[in-house]
Amino acid sequence: MATKSIVKTRKTRSDKGTTRMVKLNSDIPVITVADIEAVAEITQEKIASAQTVRQIVVEEKNVWVSKMRVTLLTDRYLQARALIVLADRQTAEEISTKTTRETNGRGFNKMDAAFLTGMAQTVARSAYVENGRERYRISDKQCAVLARCLPKYAGQLYEVYVQKLQAKG
């Protein structure tokens, strides 16, 4: 890309109220039609590849969320982990008051906040280690309630999953 030197002038004022002309030298790039066509071609390629990647990611997310919703219906360990992860995503104020004050897409909604925050604290206290793996004691009633409440939070669980994958590298 070629450049063209242009000299501009500008009026400036001093603190004393006098004005004077100042020269501003700048090099302005001269853009040719070939440059514009090359940029347009590169841009089109990037847009096409970005749309393909985005489409794959969206489809992957939808499949993952669907599988998670089904798994949350029966897997007690996963229910307990999901409950604790969602409770950890709440703000400190939301945890202490067991309510939802902010609409930030994190943690529990207003209807579930009080009940599920308390249940998350109870489940976290019931944790124990078996064969090197953390386990939780959940009753049949708690399992049934979590099976009804947790599937709607599968999207947030996907976000946590992606963050952990990115952190690993």
More reliable by pLDDT, 159 or 55: 159
- The reported pTM is 0.62
**pLDDT tens figures, 15-42:** 666 666 655 555 555 556 666 666 667 6
The pLDDT assigned to 83 comes to 92
**pLDDT tens figures, 54-101:** 565 666 888 888 888 988 888 888 999 999 999 888 887 777 787 777
Helix (H, G, I), strand (E, B) or coil at 103: coil
Report the range out of 40-49, 50-59, 98-107, 154-163 with the highest average pLDDT: 154-163
The pLDDT assigned to 36 comes to 63
Q: Which residue has the tokens 């749309």?
A: 51
Average pLDDT, the chain: 77
Tell me which DSSP letter residue 152 carries: G
Nearest to 99 by CA among 116, 84, 83, 86: 116
